[in-house]
Amino acid sequence: MTPSLVLAATGGTLVAAGVVLLLERSLSRLVVGVLVLSNGVNLLILTGGGPAGRAPILAAHEPEERPGRPLSDPLPQAMILTAIVISLASAAFVLAIAYRSGRLSGDDEVRDDIEDMRVRRESEDDVRLRTERERRAVADPSELGAREEPDSDFPGGVPRDGRHGRPGRPRRDGQGR
Amino acid sequence: MNALIPLPVLLPVLAAGIKIIIGPRHALLKRAISVVALGAVLGIAVVLLVRADRDGPQAVQLGGWPAPVGITLVADRLSALMLVVSSAVILCVLVYAFGQDGADRDRDTPLSVFHPTYLLLAAGVCDAFLAGDLFNLFVGFEMMLMASYVLVTLAGTMARVRAGTTYIVVALLSSMLFLVAIAVLYAATGTVNMAQLSLRIAELPAPVSRIGEAALLTAFAAKAAVFPLSMWLPDSYPSAPTPVTAVFAGLLTKIGVYGVIRTETVLFPGGHLHTVLLVAALLSMLVGVLGAMVQIDVRRLLSFTLVSHIGYMIFGVGLDSAAGLAATVFYVLHHITIQTTLFLVAGLIDRRGGGTSLARLGGLARTAPLVGVLFFVPAMNLGGIPPLSGFLGKLGLLRAGLAQGGPLVDALVAGAVVTSLLTLYALVKVWNQAFWGAPPDDLPGDPPAARLPVAMVAGSAALVVLSLAYTAGGGPLYGLCQRAAAELLDPQAYVRAVFPSGGAS
């Protein structure tokens, strides 16, 4: 079987373009990405079905008009129909989510995760604190080990923000000054 | 008798349709419909398991079209085992959801949407397990995913829309990759029937079959949240309603693992990519559990342990031996149950403690001892404390690994032990902080509920009992898993069931 190069190349380009669009933060581009990507994949399935021929099943009962031309493979077409329905539903859902997100936040960007930001901020805090302590230890060696970490027995770091009034790690920040 | 096989897919879909027709009223009747439908699925799954274990794989050709053309549903030992455990878990979570409905009506869970969608999710899960051809497997995945999109963004709050977007994009991308893999395999072999594929792939030139295998494995690994394709999971699961998170954590990732198992045994036997699988397994274990250690929210912590324990299952598949595969099947069953239970109990903690952030929890062992017991048993089970089922599964994996030997496998064995200990550390941290620690002076969050709905406790307790049953029936169950693994490694019976009169090649 020799697949059509044009179909395969078009499918590949559409898939690539769809993936690029899916990586965007804007939800409306994401919808377009879903559509482009699924069309590209459908073309690839069609390529997998071999060269085009006469209408499958129906043409078998008709008198031979152009002998030598075989029937097309019906199975990829059935699979593409199913895939089209599924990607239509997915795209509709993403569109609904984009609308809802726009109503809630005023734009259609995907936000950062709050908990990820917390972990990142804490690790940055830790690095800053450590460099500061090292700097002080160089300036005044008696400082080293004189102050102990408030929650050093708890590497996971569980800030009891309810007790200190301020979110984050107020004790560590206060200690540095 | 094979007419039973399509019922686990059909019954939930029918029940969902009936519930939509009934409309918003008759809550009790609709609950009864759900319970009856899912209970029937559980019963049928048990019958299928008994028959598959006694008589070998059972196949049914839908619509009477013979195998390579029509749609085939197959119930072999692995499918039937997964079906039994999944339907039991789905039923228990449904009972839990009833309790939650009664307790916070209309707070942030529109029930008229939740229940039919949940049934469709169940149908998709059953279809994925029973599918006998790759395209039907894709359709099963999509049924389940469409339902899960709705469930993960239920009520459309800001947090859920944000988390849901990540989830949907990753799921869509992996589905499309799955379709590409199907296109590649169809172009190369001219079939999507798994029994026929298992014969024809063996005749393909090696580079072609490696491309197909890599594409399929990547698609399944993204769904199973194997590192480095796991970043979406801890981000998107915790914000959904508790029953939804629980069933996602228990089932949806395991369907990805099921896909990996099928790919590596029936379709592409021989373990050509087992080095890749083993490295991914090691990294999943370590990265997942290190992520869990820094979390202060119980649900996020559990999501990270989920990623790390997916590593164990991939480890067993990557070993490419009957012993490793048997241990993986056992571990999957154990982990479906245990991870769902832990997420349900996180919901109970939320209700009794007024939140799931460890910073705000404390003293629950005194105020809610029952929740303490329900958390402690599955937590120790996940950490692998003997004689619970987590220990049995890990023991099987480690023994299979040590029997195989080699530097990479030895590194994995060491990694598995370290991960187990670190998991225990993370869970003990939750225990110390939420159950033993002093309660915080003032609670800024929601006031905790005075008492828990009976159905919520009953649903969680039933799952704890089920997980203990794995220990009690450990010997026979492990034997069944070994027979399932043997069947997977020798797909002759599978092919014969799908093509009773030959003609498969």
What is the model's pLDDT at position A59? 62
Largest Cα–Cα distance of chain A, in whole Å?
101
Closest B-chain CA to A2: B187
| Residue A35: C-alpha distances to residues A14, A76, B162, B415 (Å) | 10, 19, 21, 42
What is the model's pLDDT at position B444? 52
How near does any CA of chain A get to the CA of B23, in Å?
22
Set of chain B residues whose Cβ sits within 8 Å of the Cβ of A91: none
Q: B440: pLDDT confidence band, cut at 50, 70 and 90? A: low
How near does any CA of chain A get to the CA of B161, in Å?
7
Inter-residue contact B315 to B401 (CB < 8 Å)? yes
pLDDT(B122) > 90: yes
In eight-state DSSP terms, residue B431 is I
Global pTM value: 0.86
A142 CB-side CA count, 13 A: 0
Chain B interface mutation, best of A86, A114, A154, highest count of B Cβ atoms under 10 Å: A86
Of B175, B429, B442, the CB nearest to A156: B429
Set of chain A residues whose Cβ sits within 8 Å of the Cβ of B176: 15, 18, 37-38, 41
Q: Strand B58-62 vs strand B71-75: parallel, antiparallel, or unpaired?
A: antiparallel
Between B69 and B86, the more confident residue is: B86
What is the model's pLDDT at position A152? 42
What is the model's pLDDT at position A146? 43
Q: A131: pLDDT confidence band, cut at 50, 70 and 90? A: confident
Of B157, B163, B359, the CB nearest to A158: B359
Set of chain B residues whose Cβ sits within 8 Å of the Cβ of A79: 135, 182, 186, 192
Q: Does A22 contact B172 at a Cβ distance shorter than 8 Å?
A: yes
| Topology of the domain comprising A3-52+74-111 | Helix Hairpins (1.10.287)
pLDDT(B128) > 90: yes
In eight-state DSSP terms, residue A55 is P
Judged by average pLDDT, the poorest of B97-106, B351-360, B469-478 is B97-106
Phi, psi of B31, deg, nearest 5:
-60, -45
Q: Tell whether B42 is within 8 A of chain A (Cβ).
A: no
Q: Does B179 contact A41 at a Cβ distance shorter than 8 Å?
A: yes
Neighbour-count burial of B269, counting CB atoms closer than 10 A to its CB (0-12 exposed, 13-18 middle, 19+ buried): middle
pLDDT(B107) > 60: no
What is the model's pLDDT at position B38? 92
Judged by average pLDDT, the poorest of B95-104, B278-287, B386-395 is B95-104
Question: Chain A 7-26, CB below 8 Å of chain B: which residues?
Answer: 15, 18-19, 22
Q: Which element (helix H / strand E) includes A118?
A: helix A114-139
Bond from prior residue into B387 cis (ω within 30 degrees of 0):
yes
How near does any CA of chain A get to the CA of B66, in Å?
14
Beta-carbon contacts below 8 Å between A and B: 125
Q: A62: pLDDT confidence band, cut at 50, 70 and 90? A: low
How near does any CA of chain B get to the CA of A97, in Å?
7
Q: Does A155 contact B293 at a Cβ distance shorter than 8 Å?
A: yes
pLDDT(B474) > 60: yes
| Residue B301: C-alpha distances to residues A44, B170, B210, B361, B379 (Å) | 40, 21, 36, 15, 12
Question: Chain B 73-132, CB below 8 Å of chain A: which residues?
Answer: none
Q: How many CB atoms lie within 10 A of CB A95?
A: 16
A157: left (phi over 0), alpha (psi -120 to 50) or beta: left
Neighbour-count burial of B233, counting CB atoms closer than 10 A to its CB (0-12 exposed, 13-18 middle, 19+ buried): buried
Average pLDDT (A22-48) is: 88
Set of chain B residues whose Cβ sits within 8 Å of the Cβ of A97: 153, 161, 164-165, 168
Residue with tokens 């129906």: A58
Average pLDDT (B431-441) is: 77
pLDDT digits (tens, 9 = 90+) for B266-313: 888 877 888 889 999 999 999 999 988 888 888 888 999 999 999 999
What is the model's pLDDT at position A142? 57
Residue with tokens 């017991």: B373
What is the model's pLDDT at position B1? 54
Kindly state the percentage of chain A with pLDDT values over 70. Answer: 67
What is the model's pLDDT at position A60? 61
How near does any CA of chain A get to the CA of B360, in Å?
7
Q: B386: pLDDT confidence band, cut at 50, 70 and 90? A: confident
pLDDT(B366) > 90: no
Set of chain A residues whose Cβ sits within 8 Å of the Cβ of B294: 119, 122, 156-157
Which of B209, B223, B225, B231 minimizes the C-alpha distance to B281? B225
Average pLDDT (B117-122) is: 91
pLDDT(A80) > 60: yes
Set of chain A residues whose Cβ sits within 8 Å of the Cβ of B356: none
pLDDT digits (tens, 9 = 90+) for B44-69: 999 999 988 888 888 888 877 777 77
What is the model's pLDDT at position B229? 85
The total number of residues shown for chain A amounts to 177
Closest A-chain CA to B361: A160
What is the model's pLDDT at position B332? 92
Inter-residue contact B92 to B459 (CB < 8 Å)? yes
Inter-residue contact B8 to B130 (CB < 8 Å)? yes
Inter-residue contact B390 to B383 (CB < 8 Å)? yes
Q: Does A79 contact B441 at a Cβ distance shorter than 8 Å?
A: no
What is the model's pLDDT at position A154? 44
What is the model's pLDDT at position B164? 85
Spatial distance between the Cα atoms of B69 and B58, rounded to a whole number of angstroms: 18
Set of chain A residues whose Cβ sits within 8 Å of the Cβ of B183: 41, 44-45, 47-48, 76
How near does any CA of chain A get to the CA of B164, in Å?
9
Closest A-chain CA to B192: A75
pLDDT digits (tens, 9 = 90+) for B330-362: 999 999 999 999 999 888 888 877 777 777 777
Most confident of A141-150, B308-317, B366-375: B308-317
Average pLDDT (B38-44) is: 92
B156: left (phi over 0), alpha (psi -120 to 50) or beta: left
Set of chain A residues whose Cβ sits within 8 Å of the Cβ of B436: none
Q: Does A22 contact B179 at a Cβ distance shorter than 8 Å?
A: no
Spatial distance between the Cα atoms of A161 and B336, rounded to a whole number of angstroms: 34
Residue with tokens 């071999």: A50
Spatial distance between the Cα atoms of B62 and A80, rounded to a whole number of angstroms: 20
pLDDT(A159) > 50: no
Spatial distance between the Cα atoms of B404 and B216, rounded to a whole number of angstroms: 26
Mean residue pLDDT across chain B: 86
Q: Does A30 contact B165 at a Cβ distance shorter than 8 Å?
A: yes
Q: Does A22 contact B173 at a Cβ distance shorter than 8 Å?
A: yes
Question: Chain A 65-124, CB below 8 Å of chain B: which residues?
Answer: 73, 75-76, 79, 82-83, 86, 89-90, 93-94, 97, 100-101, 104-105, 110-111, 113, 115-116, 119, 122
Neighbour-count burial of B231, counting CB atoms closer than 10 A to its CB (0-12 exposed, 13-18 middle, 19+ buried): middle
Residue with tokens 């048993």: B377
What is the model's pLDDT at position A149? 44
pLDDT digits (tens, 9 = 90+) for B237-257: 888 888 888 999 888 899 999
How near does any CA of chain B get to the CA of A76, in Å?
8
Q: Does A90 contact B168 at a Cβ distance shorter than 8 Å?
A: yes
